[in-house]
Each structure stands twice: as structure tokens, then as C-alpha cells.
Amino acid sequence: MHTATHRFIWVIVLALLSFPLMAQSLDEAKAQGLVGEQLNGYLGIVTSSPSNSLRSLVNDVNQQRRALYQRSADEASVELSVFEARAGQRLQQRAKPGEFIQDKNGQWRRK
């Protein structure tokens, strides 16, 4: 299981490196407080009036994450929801100070 977790982390890192423009846009959106990390391992929209490009960015990132989570969950023989929850914890832990994370009550707060 520990190996699957390390593999997952490397898959995420490699995915982000292979999409530098999206990663840069994602970093900018996080820094501006437009998006944040949810407990379920997916990106969420924080702003009340998101642009179409922001919605598209979030959808694209979440589709890529889901594919990575599913592949990693299959390899580790665990349910997708277990992998999503673990990824959510790690992504929130790695969020930079000032970025938004969603708490257990569904409220956004700055880290």
C-alpha cells in the first residue's frame, strides 16, 4: 500500500510537469483565491462568480485527477473513494499558506 501511495504522488508530479501551462494557471488561480482543495481530492471553486475559463480549468484538472486516482486505486486494489480521501488530505496538507482549503463542514478557509 505504501508503494501505491508513492506511485500516486509521482504520477501527480509527472502530470503537473507535463501540463506546465495548466499548472501555472492553477497556481495563479489558487494564489488569487479563486479555487481551493476539497477534502475529496478534487479542486473546488471558491469565488461566487467564476469565469468560463476558470470552470474549464477546474473541470480539466478534476478529470485528470479522477483518471489518476482511478488508475492508482485499481493498482492498489482499493475503492476509488478511499484513494480520493487520501489524496484530499495530502493536497490540503501541501496547500500553501494563504490558499483555500475546504473544511469538514464544507466551508472554505485560508490555510
Averaged pLDDT of the chain: 87
What is d(CA 58, CA 64) in angstroms, rounded to the nearest whole number?
10
The CA dihedral of 44, 46, 47, 48, to the nearest 10 degrees, is 80
- Under 8 Å between Cβ of 35 and 55: no
Residue 14 pLDDT > 60: no
Helices 80-94, 2-18: axis angle to 10 degrees equals 60
Q: What is the pLDDT of residue 38?
A: 98
**What is the pTM assigned to this prediction?**
0.78
pLDDT, tens digit (0-9, with 9 covering 90-100), for 31-68: 999 999 999 999 999 999 999 999 999 999 999 999 99
Residue 46: all three cell numbers together: 471558491
Kindly list the distances between the CA atom of residue 107 and the CA atoms of 13, 57, 65, 73, 104, in Å, as whole numbers in the listed order.
27, 21, 22, 28, 7
Q: What is the pLDDT of residue 21?
A: 44
Residue 18 pLDDT > 50: no
What is d(CA 8, CA 105) in angstroms, rounded to the nearest whole number?
27
